[in-house]
């Protein structure tokens, strides 16, 4: 076993003197084991920025963070380091004890004082280390002041919203005006979701910058091999849990996959469908077109998914998608934008396939009446249903291969491929990259309309009607459909 963190009570005089001498030089590197030292060296490399560590449980992530924070404080008078955890309780439970242990090993005249109320270590040179939780209720406590270094522990378990509020909006902003080259150390075991911002935002930059480290339990000299064998027995060496928690591998639990039935090979057409299907005489057949819209207020996304029902195959062919948000538009979007996008998709994209169009827009009653009265739009509003029921409905459609998507609807395809349940599996995990699953909701609203049409066709299996659960405010729809549908 390696030498444990320096214990002054057990050290010989020579050891104690060389430890103190290193502390005065602002180096605590000797307290770390081999893998941890690589992280330490990278952090203090003059060129590095953000350092990302994926490491197994009990690797010594928190301890490494504390050693680096103290070293930074000793070397940089009057600076502030924010050492942040998912919650304040975690901060004081895990880092509090480590800081006490490390502080007490420092020579008395450079030993920091821990102010419990402020959850802050005060160094004699004016440097501070602030322990903070980034739980939503605590984010206000992060605001203000200048920060010179950040240690973000268990970053893989910050929610995306927290990542944005705490990291991007608070901590990163506090680097502005810092007199040093600001750095962040991100430490974590692998997150559960592959679209977690640690993986999508931090990791690619860290990799590019040679500042990414992945450490398994085998790299941990303190690991008790008997205990590990016991864990292997319990978990199974190839299990997702063991690979994630102890091999620090990026493996994801398919139990969180939102639409496991979606399969690109089966549900994405190899070529873009641009023309309406033809009948046995080769003549184009006008189809029923459907547009689903999930509105999200002016700052959230509004997603549109449209297509037509192929009367030869009776499948719904998705041919159009669009997302309105301030990234696609450069400003918050308005009702007028929503209305004109509906008209645009209907006339320019869906009209090619047919003109018996149905539109379903999920919006508030107020928005609905405004879209109807001010913008003359005709549409239905889907009845409110639980997300789990909506997703079950969607999965049913992919399981029975009733949907085919044009290959250029890349947003929808990627979202279906990557969307995940949130932690308690009652909603879609929020993810900027996949538009918070809004395109999926738009597809569901379109499909509920399609399902209603299928159900209303003569000879259909009315049993399925309960699945569509559509708000019927178009009394003569069956009559309109009767002539169009094959039986």
Ligand X SMILES: Nc1ncnc2c1ncn2[C@@H]1O[C@H](COP(=O)(O)OP(=O)(O)OP(=O)(O)O)[C@@H](O)[C@H]1O
Which tokens sit at 322?
């669009």
Spatial separation of the C-alpha atoms in residues 91 and 154, rounded to whole Å: 10
Under 8 Å between Cβ of 85 and 218: no
Looking at 23, 28, 32, 323, which residue binds ligand X (CB under 6 A)?
Answer: 32
Spatial neighbors of 480 by CB under 8 A, at least 6 apart, are: 356
**Cα distances (angstroms) measured from residue 319 to each of 346, 377, 455:** 11, 21, 22
Q: Which residues pair with 151 in a beta bridge?
A: 83, 185
- Taking CB under 6 A as the rule, does residue 62 contact ligand X? yes
Residues that bind Mg ion (CB under 5 A): 61-62, 94
Stretch of 26-34, 233-241, 288-296, 413-421 lying at the interface with ligand X (CB under 6 A):
26-34
Spatial separation of the C-alpha atoms in residues 306 and 213, rounded to whole Å: 44
- Taking CB under 6 A as the rule, does residue 244 contact ligand X? no
Partner that binds at residue 63, options Mg ion, ligand X, none, CB closer than 5 to 8 Å by kind? ligand X
DSSP annotation of 80 reads: E
Residue of 378, 481, 394 lying closest to 445 (CA atoms): 394
Spatial separation of the C-alpha atoms in residues 289 and 349, rounded to whole Å: 10
Looking at 36, 147, 415, 456, which residue binds ligand X (CB under 6 A)?
Answer: 36
Under 8 Å between Cβ of 124 and 108: no
Looking at 33, 128, 243, 470, which residue binds ligand X (CB under 6 A)?
Answer: 33
Partner that binds at residue 29, options Mg ion, ligand X, none, CB closer than 5 to 8 Å by kind? none
Contact string (CB under 6 A) for ligand X, positions 126-165, x = contact? ----------------------------------------
Spatial separation of the C-alpha atoms in residues 189 and 58, rounded to whole Å: 10
Stretch of 25-33, 160-168, 277-285, 389-397 lying at the interface with ligand X (CB under 6 A):
25-33
Residue of 360, 323, 355 lying closest to 341 (CA atoms): 323
- Taking CB under 6 A as the rule, does residue 69 contact ligand X? no
Stretch of 58-66, 314-322, 342-350, 468-476 lying at the interface with ligand X (CB under 6 A):
58-66
Stretch of 14-22, 29-37, 296-304, 427-435 lying at the interface with ligand X (CB under 6 A):
29-37
Looking at 57, 141, 146, 194, which residue binds ligand X (CB under 6 A)?
Answer: 57
Under 8 Å between Cβ of 379 and 445: no
Spatial separation of the C-alpha atoms in residues 167 and 155, rounded to whole Å: 10
Neighbour count for residue 131 (Cβ, 10 Å): 26
Give the residue at shortest CB distance from ligand X: 60
Span 158-217, contacts to ligand X by CB under 6 A: 189
- Taking CB under 6 A as the rule, does residue 222 contact ligand X? yes
Looking at 61, 128, 243, 244, which residue binds ligand X (CB under 6 A)?
Answer: 61
Cβ proximity to ligand X, 61 vs 333, nearer residue? 61
Stretch of 27-35, 262-270, 404-412, 473-481 lying at the interface with ligand X (CB under 6 A):
27-35
Handedness of CA 98, 101, 105, 108 (dihedral sign): positive
- Taking CB under 6 A as the rule, does residue 96 contact ligand X? no
Residue of 311, 343, 291, 321 lying closest to 411 (CA atoms): 321
- Taking CB under 6 A as the rule, does residue 84 contact ligand X? no
- Min separation Cβ 104 and ligand X, Å: 14
- Pairing mode, if any, of strands 315-324 and 302-310? antiparallel
Cβ proximity to Mg ion, 57 vs 372, nearer residue? 57
Residue burial 379-413, b: 16+ Cβ < 10 Å; e: rest: bbbbeeeebeebbebbeebbeeebbbbbeebebbb
Give the residue at shortest CB distance from Mg ion: 62
- Taking CB under 6 A as the rule, does residue 227 contact ligand X? no
Cβ proximity to ligand X, 24 vs 222, nearer residue? 222
- Min separation Cβ 62 and ligand X, Å: 3
Q: Catalog residues that contact ligand X under the rule CB under 6 A.
A: 4-5, 31-33, 36, 55, 57-63, 94, 189, 222
């Amino acid at each position: 076993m390696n030498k444990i963190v320096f214990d002054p009570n057990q050290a010989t005089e020579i050891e104690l003197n060389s430890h103190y001498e290193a502390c005065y030089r602002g180096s605590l590197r000797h307290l770390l084991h081999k893998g941890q030292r690589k992280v330490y060296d990278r952090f203090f490399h003059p060129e590095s920025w953000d350092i990302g560590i994926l490491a197994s449980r009990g690797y010594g992530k928190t301890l490494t963070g504390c050693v680096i924070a103290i070293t930074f404080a000793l070397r940089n008078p009057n600076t502030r380091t924010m050492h942040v955890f998912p919650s304040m309780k975690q901060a004081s439970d895990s880092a509090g004890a480590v800081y006490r242990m490390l502080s007490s090993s420092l020579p008395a005249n450079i030993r920091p004082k821990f102010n419990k109320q402020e959850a802050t270590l005060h160094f004699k040179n004016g440097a501070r280390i602030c322990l903070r939780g980034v739980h939503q209720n605590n984010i206000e406590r992060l605001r203000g002041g200048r920060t010179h270094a950040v240690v973000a522990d268990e970053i893989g378990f910050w929610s995306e919203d927290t990542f944005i509020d705490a990291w991007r909006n608070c901590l990163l902003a506090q680097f502005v005006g810092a007199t040093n080259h600001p750095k962040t150390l991100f430490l974590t075991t692998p997150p559960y979701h592959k679209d977690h911002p640690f993986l999508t935002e931090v990791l690619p930059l860290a990799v590019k910058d040679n500042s990414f480290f992945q450490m398994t339990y085998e790299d941990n000299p303190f690991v008790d091999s008997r205990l590990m064998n016991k864990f292997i027995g319990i978990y199974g060496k190839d299990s997702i849990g063991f690979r994630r928690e102890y091999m620090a591998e990026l493996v994801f639990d398919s139990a969180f996959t939102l639409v496991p039935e979606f399969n690109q090979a089966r549900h994405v057409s190899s070529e873009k469908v641009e023309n309406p299907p033809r009948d046995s005489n080769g003549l184009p057949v006008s189809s029923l077109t459907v547009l689903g819209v999930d509105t999200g207020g002016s700052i959230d996304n509004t997603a549109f998914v449209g297509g037509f029902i192929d009367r030869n195959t009776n499948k719904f062919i998705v041919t159009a998608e669009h997302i309105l948000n301030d990234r696609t538009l450069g400003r918050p979007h308005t009702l007028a934008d929503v209305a004109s996008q509906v008209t645009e998709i209907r006339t320019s994209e869906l009209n090619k396939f047919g003109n018996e169009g149905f539109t379903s827009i999920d919006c508030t009653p107020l928005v609905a009446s405004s879209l109807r009265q001010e913008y003359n739009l005709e549409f239905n509003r889907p009845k409110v249903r639980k997300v789990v029921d909506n997703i079950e409905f969607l999965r049913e459609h992919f399981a029975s291969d009733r949907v085919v998507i044009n290959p250029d609807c890349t947003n929808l395809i990627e979202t279906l491929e990557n969307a995940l349940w949130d932690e308690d599996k009652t909603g879609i995990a929020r993810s900027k990259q996949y538009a918070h699953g809004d395109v999926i909701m738009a597809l569901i609203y379109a499909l509920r309309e399609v399902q209603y049409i299928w159900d209303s066709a003569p000879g259909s299996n009315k049993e399925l009607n309960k699945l569509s659960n559509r708000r019927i405010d178009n009394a003569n729809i069956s009559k309109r459909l009767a002539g169009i549908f094959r039986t």
